[in-house]
Amino acid sequence: VWKSISCWCESHWRPAEENLKTCSIMFTNSDEAVINKKLPKELLLRIFSFLDVVTLCRCAQVSRSWNVLALDGSNWQRIDLFDFQRDIEGRVVENISKRCGGFLRKLSLRGCQGVGDSALRTFSQNCRNIELLSLNGCTKITDSTCNSLSKFCPKLKHLDLASCTSITNLSLKALSEGCPLLEQLNISWCDQVTKDGIQALVRSCPGLKGLFLKGCTQLEDEALKHIGAHCPELVTLNLQTCSQITDDGLITICRGCHRLQSLCVSGCANITDAILHALGQNCPRLRILEVARCSQLTDVGFTTLARNCHELEKMDLEECVQITDGTLIQLSIHCPRLQVLSLSHCELITDDGIRHLGSGPCAHDRLEVIELDNCPLITDASLEHLKNCHSLDRIELYDCQQITRAGIKRLRTHLPNIKVHAYFAPVTPPPSVGGSRQRFCRCCVLL
């Protein structure tokens, strides 16, 4: 069964070649090697449990006894085949399932486009204790796979089906019937899913803590109302580019999911400050908020949010074009844990807002990333205000016309390890004096 897998690993694994040659000499097929006599098999088995999939396959070729130990199912509880995604075919998954059986708990086939429904049916039948399964990018997967998982894998807790675009409501209904312990589901870009599938899922899986619905463009407020009514344990919700949702659906989420810590609604252009008020009133544990391109949000909403959600760590406010320094003042006062802040294309932000942020409680030990791309009012003075942010690791300054090289150089004298991403257009030299020959800047010469 494992001969094909061993050969596959042989063609992909080269490190420590000399050590393996030595091992081949020390551990012959006679199995009389000292290590096999001195160490109990239980201890050798424990040592093998720390090895990755490739190293285990190599060890399995050393001797008969090592073959038995290396391929023991207890060593194959967690497998990630992402590094070999182009080579994984259905038969490999079937072989793994037969070898691992009930031992396997976690399997990642992320990006393995050669794996289809048939192999995963065999897998489901053999690995009934699977708890975490990633099929992200396995584009051959259809509803048939979810039917198999529902029938044979009742202990499944985490399932990633992102970019499996053939998945429909039938998959969610099947999972709701056979996988009641489901805690995290990723169906991002499965754009055939509608409110009917969401309704079936959340009614039978009340323990859901993470839902990733990015790019599920058919979802409307009705789907969110089902989530809000049936998922009190929800911690993470991603609705990026679900462009049909409005305040009504999200307010239901806020009122029903008080444990919410991470919300992404970037690209949901219909939402207003009502969402920020609802989050502030109902979700005090919020840590991550991504509202990029939500252009109707204003300082009024962010003031309510900041005054009530003191655990905020990451905020993406890119293209929230109505916010001003007022939002930064409130964040600097009320959000001492802020680590990552994106203000790109927030064209009303000025040096004064950055000054408040740089003197706030998050500045000295917390703030790690600040993005200020296309903020035309920002000058070198802002960099001076950030020089005491000792944890600052990265700053984005693309197309900030008033930022200079000298200002960046001064910032680096205080923060020598900071990554500064900026762009300065080449300066075209003045026309030559006293000559008829036309001069070009270097960029023009190259072009």
Per-residue confidence band for 340, with pLDDT thresholds at 50, 70 and 90? very high
Structure confidence at residue 413 (pLDDT): 96
Q: Is residue 317 pLDDT above 80, yes or no? A: yes
Rounded to whole angstroms, the Cα distance separating 197 from 213 reads 12
- For residue 159, give the nearest of 187, 122, 192 by alpha carbon: 187
How many angstroms from the chain centroid is the CA of residue 374?
26
For the residues of 25-75, what is the DSSP string, one character each? HHS-TT---HHHHHS-HHHHHHHHTTS-HHHHHHHTTT-HHHHHHHT-GGG
- Cβ atoms 185, 159 nearer than 8 A: yes
Place of tokens 């182009």: 86
Mean pLDDT is lowest, of 9-13, 171-175, 431-435, for 9-13
Query: Pick the residue with more confidence: 8 or 387?
Result: 387
Angle at the Cα of 84 (from 79 to 87), degrees rounded to 5?
120
The C-alpha R_g of the chain, in whole angstroms, comes to 28
Which one has a higher pLDDT value, 250 or 424?
Answer: 250
pLDDT digits (tens, 9 = 90+) for 237-252: 999 999 999 999 999 9
Q: Which of 24-38, 175-189, 258-272, 339-353 has the lowest mean pLDDT?
A: 24-38
- Predicted local distance difference test score (pLDDT) of residue 33: 73
For residue 218, name the pLDDT band (cuts at 50, 70, 90): very high
Tally of CB atoms within 10 A around 233: 14
For residues 260 and 235, what is the distance between their CA atoms, to the nearest angstrom? 4
What is d(CA 154, CA 115) in angstroms, rounded to the nearest whole number?
A: 22
DSSP assignment of 128-180: TT--EEE-TT-TT--HHHHHHHHHH-TT--EEE-TT-TT--HHHHHHHHHH-T
pTM of the predicted structure, to 2 decimals = 0.86
Long-range contacts formed by 46-52: CB under 8 A, 24+ apart: 48/72, 48/75, 49/74, 49/75, 51/75
Cα(10)–Cα(43) distance, integer angstroms: 26
Structure confidence at residue 83 (pLDDT): 83
Lowest mean pLDDT among 2-16, 177-191, 260-274, 353-367: 2-16
Strand partners, 237: 211, 263
- Comparing CA positions, the residue from 337, 221, 246 lying closest to residue 285 is 337
pLDDT tens-place string over residues 156-173? 999 999 999 999 999 999
At 160, which amino acid appears? D
Biggest CA pair distance of the chain: 92
Average pLDDT of the chain? Answer: 89
